[in-house]
Amino acid sequence: MKATLLYSLKFLAIIILLNAISFGYYHRFDLTQDKRYSLTPITKNLINSLHKSLTITVYLKGDFPLEFKRLQTETQQLLQEFSSQNNKISFRFIDPLSHKSIGQDLIKKGLQPSKLTVQENGEISEKVIFPWAIISYNGKKEKVNLLSNTQSNSQAQQITEAISKLEYAFADAFSKVTTSKKQSIAVLKGNGELQDIYLDSFLRSLVGSYNLAPFTLDSVAKNPQRTLEQLQKFDLAIIAKPTEEFTEAEKFVLDQYIMHQGKTLWLVDNVQADLDSLTKQQGEMLAYPRDLNLTDLLFSYGVRLSYDLVEDLYSAKIRLASGIIGNKTQYQNFNWPYFPLITSKNKHLITNQIAPVQLKFSTAIDTLKNDISKTVLLQSSLLGKKTGTPRLINLNEINTIDEATYNNGSQILGVLLEGKFKSAYKGRVKPFDFSDTKETSLANAMVIISDGDIIANQVYQNKPVDLNTNYLTGEHFGNKDFLRNTVDYMLNDKALLNLRSKTLQLRFLDKNKVIKETLFWQLLNIVLPLIILALFGFGFNFYRKLRYSKAINISKTRTKK
């Protein structure tokens, strides 16, 4: 008896000890195929670098449809994983609709709500949610969008993509609030580049991760040495749709900037053509070559921009007046082959898992053989063709498209160059001498895209529109994501890019099938177990009676003997 009691006490003590340990130690065993609950090394490093308290306030709480409950649950589980890695991380969930003032305050901070279309019991209704979180650390605050904008055909697919990007969204925010020194980006001015209002959407996506500043090459004529020294303070230079010719002195400054490890993002229109001119000039315009004096510079790096416009049957739309009913003008969307819609087929970090990229009046790019590694990032579909310039472009071409002529195949429209670049002025007379002129760079990178409008957002009522959205046609694109990936890649943020490409395979129920088969599955899950239980009870009782009868018969037989 004493031995049994002692054994029971030992067992109880072990159970209590294990429970006590479990309170102080949290761990999940990830048995999922896609390692959904395993943090990547970059995320762990960011979390472990936190030396002060970090607070995460999540506003994804309330009465949601089932899919958004899944997003809420996945977010909570991810934050628990963060907290288990570093106990300085704390989080809380708040229902923004519990008090009117909370929602109004969030909107003032730029955290716009999302409207959901909810289908329940065959009825459709709308609900409002705030899919946002705010991270507070060391006096800094960073917003986290839990529901990234996508081109998903359904809410279920949108939630799948949002859950896939949860870890990246938080890791990116951790990086922003913990980074003390940011890399710098120069936005070149002075050669007719795009105005700030057309760059607003993209540049805002870089704020928080990088330091941004305009930079002009106008001072090259007076003091080229000082201009180069100032430009070298920037890690990357963006040349967005220049329209004025570069002088040899300006080109030499850019060349030496590249030789001294400066990264460059070239967004170049080699042909003068734009939709505004086409619509204002009675539906017709002359597209003609634009001489920017950059041909020899880019040629030396291994790329040649042609003057041939690329048309593609797989294209974005333009909105045009189609008639008048009463006193109102009617509008219609038409496919416009001069606006190629690029869907990348490669798995490069820059292009992986982004929506199609829209280009406007882009020209073909030829790559040349040299020691530079070239990766095609953007190219037209197989249903494309090249059109020489100068030429007249007329809106009536929409009605006269001959699909048989689109047989030139894919054309390169954007390329990544990586390697040791040779100076365009090697063996040539230089405009002037620098104190540290180099003829070959160390390992470097640049991206060249034959369209300046890839970065240009629309403007509506003097306000910039999101770069990924065409407010006239309602289409959504991946321009901003592509350009952001490009910048991150060249500035060596490849770990976060890998994380952004992480995918999950989530299984969602078919709503229409659920509605049709609800009664069947309710009966199956409620009635069938009762029937099985009844059959088991009947069978068990029958078995007991049978055994009891046999026992009685045996007893009677023994008595008679």
Q: Using 50, 70 and 90 to split pLDDT, how confident is the model at 561?
A: low
Q: Is the pLDDT of residue 361 over 80?
A: yes
104 and 235 housed in the same domain: no
For residue 407, give every residue at least 6 positions away whose Cβ sits within 8 Å of its Cβ, in sequence order, or none: 385
Q: Quote the domain boundaries for residue 37.
A: 18-176
472 and 517 housed in the same domain: no
Looking at residues 126-147, what average pLDDT do you find?
88
471 and 545 housed in the same domain: no
By mean pLDDT, which of 121-125, 285-289, 540-544 is the weakest? 121-125
* Entry pTM: 0.80
Asked, for residue 148, whether it belongs to a domain, the answer is yes
By mean pLDDT, which of 75-84, 115-124, 253-262, 503-512 is the weakest? 503-512
Q: Which of 176, 197, 218 is the last residue of a domain?
A: 176
Q: Using 50, 70 and 90 to split pLDDT, how confident is the model at 32?
A: low
For residue 38, give every residue at least 6 positions away whose Cβ sits within 8 Å of its Cβ, in sequence order, or none: 30
84 and 44 housed in the same domain: yes
Asked, for residue 8, whether it belongs to a domain, the answer is no
pLDDT value at residue 273: 94
Q: Using 50, 70 and 90 to split pLDDT, how confident is the model at 484?
A: very high
pLDDT value at residue 285: 94
How confident is the model over 190-239, as pLDDT tens digits? 999 999 999 999 999 998 889 999 999 988 988 999 999 999 999 999 99
Q: Is the pLDDT of residue 507 over 60?
A: no
DSSP state of 216: E
242 and 196 housed in the same domain: yes
* Residue environment code for 486-519, b if the CB has 16+ CB neighbours within 10 A, otherwise e: bbbbbbebebbbebbbbebebeeeebeeeeeeee
* Distance separating alpha carbons of residues 484 and 477, to the nearest angstrom: 13
Contact criterion met (CB below 8 Å) for 217 and 187: no
By mean pLDDT, which of 56-60, 181-185, 457-461, 522-526 is the weakest? 522-526
- Higher local confidence (pLDDT), 462 or 519: 462
240 and 172 housed in the same domain: no
Asked, for residue 7, whether it belongs to a domain, the answer is no
Q: Using 50, 70 and 90 to split pLDDT, how confident is the model at 478?
A: very high
- Higher local confidence (pLDDT), 183 or 148: 183
pLDDT value at residue 515: 64
In this structure, is the dihedral angle defined by the CA atoms of residues 451, 452, 453 and 457, taken in order, positive or negative? positive
Q: Is the pLDDT of residue 70 over 70?
A: yes
* Residue environment code for 29-62, b if the CB has 16+ CB neighbours within 10 A, otherwise e: eeeeeeebbebbebbbebbeebeeebebbbbbbb
The DSSP result for 234-250, as a single string, is: -SEEEEE---SPPPHHH
In this structure, is the dihedral angle defined by the CA atoms of residues 402, 408, 410 and 412, taken in order, positive or negative? negative
- In the chain, pLDDT over 90 holds for what percent of residues? 53
Q: Which of 176, 203, 231 is the last residue of a domain?
A: 176
Which CATH number characterizes residue 59's domain?
Answer: 3.40.30
Give 365's Cβ-side CA count (13 Å radius).
29
pLDDT value at residue 560: 62
By mean pLDDT, which of 76-80, 413-417, 511-515 is the weakest? 511-515
- Higher local confidence (pLDDT), 61 or 35: 61
pLDDT value at residue 324: 78
Q: Is the pLDDT of residue 508 over 60?
A: no
Q: Using 50, 70 and 90 to split pLDDT, how confident is the model at 509?
A: low
Q: Is the pLDDT of residue 116 over 80?
A: no
Instruction: Calculate the average pLDDT of the chain.
Output: 86
Asked, for residue 150, whether it belongs to a domain, the answer is yes
How confident is the model over 312-330, as pLDDT tens digits? 999 999 998 877 777 788 8
Q: Is the pLDDT of residue 410 over 90?
A: yes
Q: Using 50, 70 and 90 to split pLDDT, how confident is the model at 8?
A: low
Q: Using 50, 70 and 90 to split pLDDT, how confident is the model at 150?
A: low
pLDDT value at residue 249: 94
How confident is the model over 437-471, as pLDDT tens digits? 999 999 999 999 999 999 999 999 999 999 999 99
Asked, for residue 3, whether it belongs to a domain, the answer is no
Contact criterion met (CB below 8 Å) for 385 and 405: yes
533 and 390 housed in the same domain: no
Nearest residue to 70 via CA among 165, 168, 169, 156: 156
* Distance separating alpha carbons of residues 251 and 542, to the nearest angstrom: 98
In this structure, is the dihedral angle defined by the CA atoms of residues 367, 370, 372 and 375, taken in order, positive or negative? positive
For residue 449, give every residue at least 6 positions away whose Cβ sits within 8 Å of its Cβ, in sequence order, or none: 265, 266, 267, 268, 359, 362, 377, 378, 413, 414, 415
34 and 112 housed in the same domain: yes
Peptide bond connecting 390 to the previous residue in cis, omega within 30 degrees of 0: yes
Asked, for residue 12, whether it belongs to a domain, the answer is no
Asked, for residue 11, whether it belongs to a domain, the answer is no
Residue 146 CA, chain-centre distance (Å), reads: 12
pLDDT value at residue 328: 82
Q: Using 50, 70 and 90 to split pLDDT, how confident is the model at 4?
A: low
pLDDT value at residue 24: 57
Q: Using 50, 70 and 90 to split pLDDT, how confident is the model at 435?
A: confident
By mean pLDDT, which of 121-125, 409-413, 450-454, 527-531 is the weakest? 121-125
Q: Is the pLDDT of residue 396 over 60?
A: yes
Looking at residues 43-67, what average pLDDT do you find?
88
- Cα Rg of the chain, angstroms: 32
* Proportion of the chain in helix, strand, coil states, percent, rounded to 5: 40, 25, 35
Number of domains in the chain: 3
113 and 78 housed in the same domain: yes
Nearest residue to 481 via CA among 343, 371, 353: 353
How confident is the model over 246-263, as pLDDT tens digits? 999 999 999 999 999 999
186 and 319 housed in the same domain: yes
517 and 440 housed in the same domain: no
* Highest-scoring range by mean pLDDT, 30-34, 151-155, 267-271, 400-404: 267-271
pLDDT value at residue 250: 96
232 and 273 housed in the same domain: yes
Looking at residues 126-150, what average pLDDT do you find?
85
Q: Which of 129, 146, 176 is the last residue of a domain?
A: 176
Asked, for residue 1, whether it belongs to a domain, the answer is no
